[in-house]
């Protein structure tokens, strides 16, 4: 039966429930809200460009409206597609710097100690705010000295010894900022009998490019990734990513926002926690945990794109399998950072206001550590609370 | 005497409003009387197509020539009601290309610019068009908003001294010594009776004109031909799409404002059904089937509602389809035709020629009254269409949100400056689908003769969007009750009837998302609000 | 992932079923395709439109879901429901013995079984106060002031009206659309705003017995009404609003939290799209739109009617899209042209046996149940029993599963 409109925005019944769950509308009274910016606006925009309201660009693309929508309207996609189509804002130096995570990262990792120290200095942060309109209160993620790719290349022979193999989409964050997460993933994969390879060529997934208005460059990088993943798929290599946002972008945004056909590879892209949980749930695979591991109270934060992917439960169930880990599930809400959104001076207040209830819940949870699958949530939570944030894979690896 | 006019016009459709305006512009004191709201009959129940005349070119050259002339006039005088979409006449594999050749020749002969283009070009021009087309002709079709057009005519008539009474039924014609000298009326809202006198009474009642004529003892042979149409949820096409073949059912697809309309069917109906048009399942089937031939996307597009109108055709033969009847303008001077002085009937014609019909009628009135002022309606812009190009720059109406501003300017042209959106409370949107603010509701009530929510819909598009009033109806009722000074009981009864009217159009197409919307509508207004148990108010 | 019971749905029925299972030690998961119709409800739950609902329920034909449960059991389960609401921290008033009435958003008085404590309600048509002061936020379009004041006056309540403003609400109203019930409620979550409102009330309410406000009293917090009562030393009552209704949203949230606290899992934003069976035709698992496969012993279909997309209609007819269950009540036409007449489509639903096992081609599936508005054979709007059927059938199904 073909009951429903193929024009996704028309499935909206105007129940207005999305507006309740929009983190931006909750704190920013200027934002038109997901219903107006999305399905209502889309119908009007068909009348002409005069109906395009630049205020919709305040959307941070968390897609919580889509999770809330009982009619499967892809509200966030509608808003972002409209933005891609109509926005007249030209991205500047700031957007270029924030969006080109791999270009900036590859430079920064070479001189990491200097960059970290410099970006940590108050006067420098003031200059960055003045020149770049990046809020001076924002703490930059530290760059690592040397990339993850460089490290894994050194491991090539050791990894090749494993009978089973997988390809790891590490993402920019692991490569330039936190190779330790990548190493933790390799440790877990190895413990499960998998050797870890790089993709033939990995480019930044492009999520920051899309949100900063570099759509053509995002498409170019996406095509490179699709090609590499296609090759891995042909070689029967599962492609696994630790970052929930990279995973979501590769699986869904390529098709929905960039209009690229990824249908042949979509099912072969998996999130690390899901991949590992399913191996363990089958009962054929087991992990040997340390017998003397300390007790750890972990508060799990479900990132927006994790929520949109619907895979939160995999990370939670995986963490629950670890002996001596006591899990607290935080109520799912946006932390406010939304990738590069919270870095921009004009969004800083909104960003922190959105995150406020989450920060309070984290402090109240009396956890030892917060865990999340998203790196930008990690930056936001570490900057805004007293807690350290670890990826579930890092926690898992430390118990092996 | 207060109740004395030169001319009384009965019927507030486009024609009646046009006659009132033309009279007013020529300095004739006119009274327009309408039994319901303006544009409630055939005027508001058609495609909203700004015909190029191409459709009539092969079979009815006279109509075609009238159309293209009026088309060009309306683009000038009613620019805020008109959208220059352009039109395509497409030939599908089952149609004949020979007809296309004949069609182009006929168009040119009638003065209609018709240019054959490559099917690929047609697809590029209008991506929703059926991709299997084998031929396409570009013509100067467009779309026209009949509610806006009628309201602008009424407004201009009033600005030039005409008086307008809506919800006023003509119960009786006052006939003295074989001459119609006035009307006896009943205000259907207040129950008040009235008496108005004039030298000439004009019957502009459309299909209901037969009944008015009968009150003067005059017989007009009319043929009520029902035409059903479907409204789709959004603009599927930006260019009018017609079938290039002998005119048939459901072969015109018109984008109008935020929606697209397919129509029409044609069937003879008895007179007693003219007031209660119900679209049947068979008509819906036919409209959908034929519509999908024009634009296949329609198959999966949400249908908002179905509606039907009655063409006021003057029977010239017994063709049951009512199609080969000439759509020509019929002005009946009952003095010469029937020996009844002071009574003129204007009928036939079509929305496209409303202005010309008015001109001919008022010419006759002038002759009778001895007025020697010429018609200026072909050049004088309607309120809202003055200096249209400057609107968006000079418009003082400040609306916070871009789409709301664009919407209000689109609906009211330069008159948008009269809408008070100066405060946040007035900019607040009542109807979110169609972006209607509190300020616009106030303007419609105060300046455009709105008496109830359904009238408000005709002036502002409140409740014409995706949700058909589900989200905004109660808001609108509440705002209306304050602006129009209605009692809570009246406003609630109005709300109840508005929801009932919205559902009436939805129920014929209630499946898929439309049924979901309908279920929500029923839950909210029958369930949560408990409107069905509203006690009848006097 | 493996659970004892997978409930497909995330609304009132699914939550009630899930909570009842979870508190009896079952591992339950909900597949919730978006927020539920609870978000649209106006803070009251109807059992049946009759002064004494249980008496009316005893007379219903066997095809009615209540008749399958049986009136004694309906009464018992109504008690269980009240208990669950309590556990979830939703404080309600009313009893199944005898309906009370609540005010509707347009000022009608409507029969109801349970209503959220604090909503204007009455036994019969007589309110228990004689004077009231209605406080309406300036520029707030979702309360229909004159409807409410005239309704109250008709019931003999002297009502004064006061429009008030707070700086935060002024900023909100600058947005043409986003001054909704929820945004007002969020503003009143903040102590400084509540204090400012309290002082306006103290100043303006005169000697009115009660203070009335649109049901926008707190979004994140549940005790805003009580705090306002303490600050103003007045009784504060609420007028329900149309969706999204703050009290409806809060009730859904409270039930979801209670369910998760009991160990229940919610797959939010997932639509169940396919299912797998064993050789006996029993359901083994369902797979969702997010590529998650959920295995369980028992499955409950609580996806709601058309609006929740539990049922789908096209030009040819009605179907239940997930399992292809048998459908009852799918008449042609599906609608009546008069919206205030009983709508035939309201009676559509999946066919079930006496224990609410779903029938497929006339045969019941042993481990597949249906509850809530996906059931047919009744008219939720005209009988005022939408919430009641959702709750009672859910609890009935839960108990069948527990006793299995």
**Looking at residue B298, which CATH number applies to its domain?**
3.30.9.10
Does the beta-carbon distance from B233 to A5 stay under 8 Å? yes
By CA distance, what is C219's nearest residue in A? A20
pLDDT of C305 reads 97
Residues B511 and B458 in one domain: yes
C146-201 pLDDT, tens per residue?
A: 999 999 999 999 999 999 999 999 999 999 999 999 999 999 999 999 999 999 99
Number of other CB atoms surrounding residue A330 within 10 Å: 19
Contact C314 A2 (CB under 8 A): yes
List the chains bordering chain A where 3 or more Cβ pairs fall under 8 Å: B, C
Output the pLDDT for position A335.
95
Of B430, B508, B529, the CB nearest to C106: B529
**Whether B277 and B342 share a structural domain:** no
- The CATH class, in words, for C5-95+248-403 is alpha beta
Q: At what angle do helices A375-384 and A348-364 cross, to 10 degrees?
A: 80
DSSP characters over B314-359: EPSS--TTS-SS---EEEEEHHHHHS-BTEEEEEES-GGGHHHHHH
Q: Are residues B229 and B304 in the same domain?
A: yes
Per-window interface: C 6-25 vs B, CB < 8 A = none
Please indicate whether, in this complex, the C-beta atoms of B234 and A46 are within 8 angstroms of each other: yes
Q: What is the pLDDT of residue B464?
A: 96
Give residue-wise pLDDT tens across range A227-246: 999 999 999 999 999 999 99
Q: Establish if B292 belongs to a structural domain.
A: yes
Q: At residue B323, does pLDDT exceed 70?
A: no
Task: State mean pLDDT over B170-176.
Answer: 97
Instruction: Indicate the residue of A1, A20, A36 with minimum beta-carbon distance to C244.
Output: A20
C146 with B475: Cβ contact below 8 A: no
Instruction: State the Cα–Cα distance between residues B189 and C71, nearest whole angstrom.
Output: 49
Instruction: Kindly report the nearest CA distance between residue B175 and chain C, in angstroms.
Output: 41
Residues of chain A positioned with their CB less than 8 A from the CB of C243 = 15-17
B525/C139 Cβ within 8 A:
no
The verdict on residue B53 lying in a domain is: no
Q: What separation in angstroms does the CA of B363 have from each of B203, B369, C175, C190? A: 15, 10, 52, 70
Contacting A residues, span 20-59, partner chain C, CB-CB under 8 Å = 20-21, 25-26, 29-33, 35-36
Q: Return d(Cα B370, Cα B406) in angstroms, integer.
A: 46
Category of B469 on φ-ψ map: left (φ > 0), alpha (ψ -120 to 50) or beta: left
Closest partner residue to B489 (CB to CB) among C150, C176, C243 is C150
Residues 142-171 of C with CB under 8 A from B: 142-147, 149-151, 170
Q: Among C176, C316, C338, C373, pick the best mutation site for testing chain B contact (most B Cβ within 10 A).
A: C176
Residues of chain C with CATH 3.50.50.60: 5-95+248-403
**Which residues of chain C does A19 touch, with a Cβ-Cβ cutoff of 8 Å?**
178, 180, 182, 244
pLDDT digits (tens, 9 = 90+) for C9-41: 999 999 999 999 999 999 999 999 999 999 988
Whether B83 and chain A come into contact, CB under 8 Å, resolves to no
Whether residues A44 and B517 touch (CB distance < 8 A) is answered with no
Q: For residue C39, which residues of chain A lie inside 8 Å, CB to CB?
A: 15, 17, 20
The chains found to touch B (3+ Cβ pairs under 8 angstroms) are A, C
Q: Let me know if residue B69 belongs to a domain.
A: no
Q: Alpha-carbon distance C134 to A172, whole Å? A: 57
What does the pLDDT look like over C239-294, one tens digit per residue? 999 888 999 999 999 999 999 999 999 999 999 999 999 999 999 999 999 999 99
**B:C CB pairs within 8 Å:** 160
Q: Residue A114's pLDDT is what?
A: 76
Which chain A residues touch B401 with a CB distance below 8 Å?
32, 36, 53, 55
With beta carbons under 8 A apart, name residues in chain A contacting B467.
13-14
Kind of pairing between the strands at C312-313 and C318-319:
antiparallel
Among residues C375, B279, B515, the alpha carbon closest in space to that of A3 is found at B515
Contact C178 A307 (CB under 8 A): no
Cβ neighbors of A143 (< 8 A, separation 6 or more) are A105, A108, A109, A112, A115, A116, A176, A177
Chain C nearest-CA distance from B435, in A, is: 9
pLDDT in the model for residue B357: 97
> How does pLDDT run across C44-71, given as a tens digit for each residue?
999 999 999 999 999 999 999 999 999 9
pLDDT band of B396, cuts 50, 70, 90: low
Interface test with B, best of C304, C339, C385, C390 (most B CBs within 10 A): C339
Last residue of a domain, one of B338, B369, B400: B369
| B66 occurs within a structural domain | no
- The CA dihedral of B8, B13, B14, B15, to the nearest 10 degrees, is -40
CB contact under 8 A, A4 and B432: no
Q: Could you list the residue range(s) of the whole structural domain that residue B37 is in?
A: 4-42+147-221+327-369
B77 C-beta neighbours (distance < 10 Å), count: 22
pLDDT of residue C123: 87
What does the buried/exposed string (b/e) look like for C369-393 if buried means 16 or more CB atoms within 10 Å of the residue's CB?
Answer: bbbbbbbbbbbbbbbbbbbbbbbbb
Q: Do C339 and B428 touch (CB under 8 A)?
A: no
- Given the DSSP bridges, would you call strands C235-239 and B168-176 parallel, antiparallel or unpaired? unpaired
| Cross-chain CB nearest to C335 (options B428, B479, B507) | B507
Name which of C38, C109, C144, C240 to mutate to probe chain B: the one with the most chain B Cβ atoms within 10 A of its Cβ.
C144
Question: Which residues of chain C from 326 to 385 reach within 8 Å of chain B, CB to CB?
Answer: 333-340, 343, 345-346, 380-382, 384
Question: Which residues of chain A neighbour B407 with C-beta distances below 8 Å?
Answer: 44, 51
Q: What are phi and psi of C375, to 5 degrees?
A: -75, 155
Number of domains observed in the structure of chain B: 3
> Is B401 part of the contact surface with chain A (CB cutoff 8 Å)?
yes
Interface touch A307/C307, C-beta < 8 Å: no
In this structure, the answer to whether residues B167 and B188 fall within a common structural domain is: yes
Residue B266 and residue B227 share a domain: yes
Residue B397 scores a pLDDT above 90:
no
Q: What is the pLDDT of residue B391?
A: 52
In-domain check, residue B320:
no
pLDDT value of residue B324? 44
Q: How confident is the model at residue C313 (pLDDT cuts 50, 70, 90)?
A: very high
Residue B318 has pLDDT above 50, yes or no: no
Both B510 and B487 in one domain: the answer is yes
pLDDT > 90 fraction of chain B, expressed in percent and rounded: 90
* Burial zone of C361 (CB within 10 Å; 0-12 exposed, 13-18 middle, 19+ buried): exposed
Are the Cβ atoms of C321 and A1 closer than 8 angstroms?
yes
Q: Are residues B478 and B438 in the same domain?
A: yes
Does some domain include residue B377? Answer: no
Q: Which residue of B has its CA nearest to A41?
A: B403
- Mean pLDDT over residues B447-469, rounded? 96
DSSP B264: -
Mean pLDDT computed over B144-163: 98
> Which of C138, C141, C150 lies closest to B475 in CB terms?
C141
Tell me: pLDDT of B322 over 80: no
Q: State both tokens at B478.
A: 């509440």
- Same domain for B361 and B478, yes or no, is no
Name which CATH class applies to C120-239: alpha beta
Q: Which of C151, C340, C376 to mutate to test the interface with B (most CBs of B within 10 A)?
A: C340
Domain identity same for B424 and B479: yes
Helices (DSSP H) in C59-166: which residue ranges?
Answer: 65-69, 71-87, 145-154
Q: Is residue B403 pLDDT above 70, yes or no?
A: yes
The Cα of B411 is separated from the nearest Cα of chain A by a number of Å equal to 13
What's the pLDDT at A285? 87
User: Is C178 an interface residue toward B (CB < 8 Å)?
Assistant: no
Asked if B435 reaches chain A (Cβ–Cβ under 8 Å), the answer is yes
The CA-to-CA distance between both ends of chain B, in Å, stands at 32
Mean pLDDT score, B469-498: 94
The tokens for B349 are 């014609």
| Residue range B353-371: mean pLDDT, rounded | 97
Average pLDDT for B360-383: 97
The reported pLDDT for the residue numbered A292 is 86
By Cβ distance, the residue of B427, B500, B516 closest to C306 is B516
Residue ranges of chain A with per-residue pLDDT less than 70: 1-6
Contact flag B402-A50 (C-beta cutoff 8 Å): yes
pLDDT at residue B191, rounded to an integer: 97
Q: CATH 3.40.50 region(s) of chain C? A: 120-239
Q: Say whether pLDDT at B538 is over 50.
A: no
- Say whether pLDDT at C212 is over 90: yes
On whether both B452 and B400 belong to a single domain, the answer is yes
A73 → chain C, closest CA residue: C34
Nearest to A218 by CA among B184, A340, C346, A226: A226
Specify the pLDDT at position B398. 54
Please indicate, yes or no, if residue B49 is contained in any of the structural domains. Answer: no
pLDDT at A278: 95
Domains along the sequence of chain A with CATH: 8-86 (1.10.1060.10), 287-398 (3.40.50)
Residues B339 and B355 in one domain: yes
Of the candidates C36, C186, C267, which has its C-beta nearest A26's C-beta? C186
SS3 A286: coil
A vs C: CB pairs below 8 A: 106
**Chain A / chain B CB contacts < 8 angstroms:** 97
Closest residue to A310, CB basis, from C243, C292, C312: C292
B252 band by pLDDT with thresholds 50, 70 and 90: very high
Other C-beta atoms within 10 Å of B405: how many? Answer: 24
Q: Which residue, B314, B340, B361, sits at the end of a domain?
A: B314
**Does residue B483 share a domain with residue B419?**
yes
């Amino acid at each position: 039966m073909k009951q429903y409109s193929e024009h996704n925005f028309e499935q909206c019944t105007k129940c207005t429930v999305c507006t309740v769950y929009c983190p931006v509308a909750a704190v920013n009274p200027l934002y038109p809200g997901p219903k107006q910016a999305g399905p209502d606006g889309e119908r009007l925009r068909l009348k002409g460009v005069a109906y395009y309201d630049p205020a919709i660009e305040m959307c941070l693309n968390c897609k919580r409206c889509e999770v809330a929508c009982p009619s499967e309207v892809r509200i966030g996609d509608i808003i972002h597609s409209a933005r891609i189509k109509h926005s007249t804002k030209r991205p500047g130096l700031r957007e270029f710097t924030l969006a080109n995570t791999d270009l900036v990262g590859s430079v920064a990792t070479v001189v990491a100690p200097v960059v970290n120290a410099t970006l940590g200095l108050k006067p420098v942060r003031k200059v960055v705010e003045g020149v770049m309109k990046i809020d001076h209160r924002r703490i930059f993620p530290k760059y690592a000295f040397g990339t993850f790719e460089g490290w894994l290349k050194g491991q090539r022979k050791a990894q090749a010894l494993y009978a089973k193999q997988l390809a790891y989409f590490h993402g920019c964050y692991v490569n330039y900022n936190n190779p330790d997460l990548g190493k933790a993933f390799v440790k877990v994969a190895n413990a499960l009998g998998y050797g870890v390879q790089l993709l033939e060529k990995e480019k930044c997934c492009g999520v920051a490019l899309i949100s900063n208005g570099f759509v053509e460059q995002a498409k170019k990088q996406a095509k490179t990734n699709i090609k590499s993943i296609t090759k891995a798929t042909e070689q029967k290599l599962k492609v696994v990513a630790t970052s929930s946002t990279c995973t979501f972008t590769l699986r869904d945004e390529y098709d929905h926002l960039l209009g690229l056909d990824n249908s042949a590879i979509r099912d072969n892209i998996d999130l690390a926690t899901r991949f590992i949980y399913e191996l363990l749930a089958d009962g054929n695979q087991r992990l040997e945990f340390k017998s003397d591991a300390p007790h750890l109270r972990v508060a799990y934060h479900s990132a927006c794109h994790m929520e949109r992917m619907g895979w939160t439960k995999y990370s939670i169930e995986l963490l629950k399998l670890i002996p001596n880990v006591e899990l607290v599930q935080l109520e799912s809400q946006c932390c406010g950072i939304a990738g590069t959104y919270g870095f921009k001076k004009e969004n800083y207040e909104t960003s922190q206001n959105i995150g406020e209830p989450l920060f309070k819940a984290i402090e109240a949870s009396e956890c030892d550590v917060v865990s999340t699958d998203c790196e930008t949530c990690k930056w936001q939570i570490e900057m805004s609370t007293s807690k350290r944030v670890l990826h579930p894979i890092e926690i898992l690896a430390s118990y092996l | 005497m207060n109740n004395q006019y030169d001319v009384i016009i009965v019927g507030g459709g486009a024609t009646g409003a046009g006659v009132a305006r033309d009279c007013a512009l020529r300095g004739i004191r006119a009274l327009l009387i309408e039994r319901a709201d303006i544009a409630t009959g055939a005027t508001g129940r058609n495609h909203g197509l700004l015909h190029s005349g191409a459709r009539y070119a092969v079979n009815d050259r006279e109509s075609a020539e009238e159309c293209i002339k009026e088309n060009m006039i309306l683009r000038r005088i009613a620019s805020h009601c008109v959208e220059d979409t352009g039109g395509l006449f497409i030939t599908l594999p089952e149609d004949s290309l020979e007809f296309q050749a004949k069609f182009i020749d006929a168009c040119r002969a009638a003065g209609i610019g018709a240019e054959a283009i490559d099917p690929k070009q047609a697809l590029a021009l209008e991506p929703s068009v059926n991709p299997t087309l084998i031929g396409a002709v570009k013509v100067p079709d467009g779309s026209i908003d009949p509610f806006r057009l009628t309201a602008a005519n009424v407004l201009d008539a009033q600005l030039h001294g005409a008086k307008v009474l809506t919800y006023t039924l003509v119960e009786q014609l006052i006939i003295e010594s074989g001459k119609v000298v006035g009307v006896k009326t009943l205000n259907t809202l207040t129950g008040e009776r009235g008496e108005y006198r004039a030298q000439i009474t004009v019957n502009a009642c459309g299909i209901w004109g037969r009944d008015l004529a009968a009150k003067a003892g005059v017989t007009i042979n009319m043929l009520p031909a029902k035409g059903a149409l479907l409204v789709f949820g959004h603009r599927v096409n930006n260019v009018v799409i017609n079938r290039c073949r002998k005119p048939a059912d459901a072969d015109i697809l018109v984008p109008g404002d935020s929606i697209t309309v397919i129509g029409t069917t044609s069937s003879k109906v008895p007179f007693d059904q003219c007031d209660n048009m119900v679209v049947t399942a068979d008509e819906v089937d036919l409209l959908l089937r034929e519509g999908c031939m024009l634009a296949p996307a329609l198959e999966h597009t949400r249908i908002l509602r179905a509606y039907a109108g009655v063409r006021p055709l003057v029977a010239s033969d017994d063709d049951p389809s009512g199609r080969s009847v000439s759509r020509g303008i019929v002005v009946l001077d009952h003095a010469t035709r029937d020996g009844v002085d002071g009574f003129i009937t204007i009928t036939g014609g079509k929305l496209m020629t409303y202005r010309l019909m008015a001109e001919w009628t008022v010419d006759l009135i002038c002759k009778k009254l001895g007025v020697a002022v010429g018609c200026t309606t072909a050049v004088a812009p309607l309120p809202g269409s003055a200096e249209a190009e400057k609107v968006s720059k000079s418009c003082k109406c400040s609306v916070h949100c871009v789409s709301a501003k664009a919407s209000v300017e689109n609906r009211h042209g330069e008159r948008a400056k009269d809408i008070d959106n100066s405060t946040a409370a007035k900019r607040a949107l009542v109807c979110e689908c169609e972006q209607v603010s509190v300020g616009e509701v106030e303007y419609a009530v105060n300046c455009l003769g709105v008496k109830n929510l359904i009238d408000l819909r005709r002036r502002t598009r409140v409740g014409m969007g995706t949700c058909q009033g589900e989200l905004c109806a109660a808001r609108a009722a509440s705002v209306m009750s304050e602006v129009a000074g209605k009692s809570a009981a009246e406003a609630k009864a109005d709300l109840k009837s508005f929801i009932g009217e919205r559902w009436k159009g939805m129920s014929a197409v209630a499946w898929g998302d439309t049924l979901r919307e309908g279920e929500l509508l029923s839950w909210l207004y029958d369930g949560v609000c408990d409107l069905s148990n509203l006690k009848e108010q006097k | 992932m493996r659970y004892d019971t997978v409930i497909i749905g995330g609304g009132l029925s699914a939550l009630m079923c899930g909570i009842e299972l979870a508190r009896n030690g079952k591992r339950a998961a909900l597949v919730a395709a978006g927020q539920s119709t609870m978000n649209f409800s106006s803070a009251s739950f109807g059992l049946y439109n009759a002064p004494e609902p249980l008496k009316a329920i005893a007379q219903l034909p066997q095809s009615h879901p209540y008749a399958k449960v049986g009136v004694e059991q309906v009464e018992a389960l109504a008690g269980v429901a009240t208990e669950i609401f309590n556990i979830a921290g939703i404080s309600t008033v009313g009893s199944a013995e005898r309906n009370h009435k609540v005010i509707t958003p347009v000022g009608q008085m409507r029969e109801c079984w349970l209503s959220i404590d604090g909503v204007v309600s009455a036994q019969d048509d007589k309110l228990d106060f004689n004077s009231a002061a209605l406080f309406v936020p300036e520029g707030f379009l979702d309360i229909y002031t004159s409807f409410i004041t005239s309704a109250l006056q008709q019931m003999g309540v002297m009502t004064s009206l006061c429009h008030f403003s707070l700086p935060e609400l002024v900023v909100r109203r600058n947005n043409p659309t986003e001054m909704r019930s929820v945004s007002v409620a969020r503003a009143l979550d903040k102590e400084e705003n509540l204090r400012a409102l309290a002082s306006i009330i103290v100043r303006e309410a005169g000697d009115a017995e009660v203070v009335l406000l649109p049901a926008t009293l707190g979004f994140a917090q549940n005790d805003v009404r009580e705090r306002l009562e303490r600050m103003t030393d007045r009784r504060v009552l609420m007028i329900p609003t149309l969706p999204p209704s703050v009290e409806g949203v809060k009730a859904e949230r409270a039930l979801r939290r209670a369910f998760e606290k009991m160990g229940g899992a919610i797959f939010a934003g997932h639509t169940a799209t396919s299912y797998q069976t064993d050789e006996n035709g029993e359901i083994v698992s369902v797979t969702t739109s997010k590529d998650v496969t959920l295995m369980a012993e028992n499955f409950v279909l609580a996806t709601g009617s058309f609006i929740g997309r539990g049922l789908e209609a096209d030009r040819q007819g009605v179907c239940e899209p997930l399992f292809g269950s048998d459908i009852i009540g799918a008449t042609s036409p599906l609608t009546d042209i008069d919206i205030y007449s009983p709508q035939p489509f309201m009676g559509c639903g999946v066919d079930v046996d006496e224990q609410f096992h779903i029938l497929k081609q006339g045969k019941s599936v042993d481990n597949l149940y249906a509850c809530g508005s996906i059931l047919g054979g009744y008219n939720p709007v005209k009988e005022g029993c939408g919430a009641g059927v959702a709750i009672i059938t859910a609890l009935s199904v839960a108990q069948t599963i527990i006793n299995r």
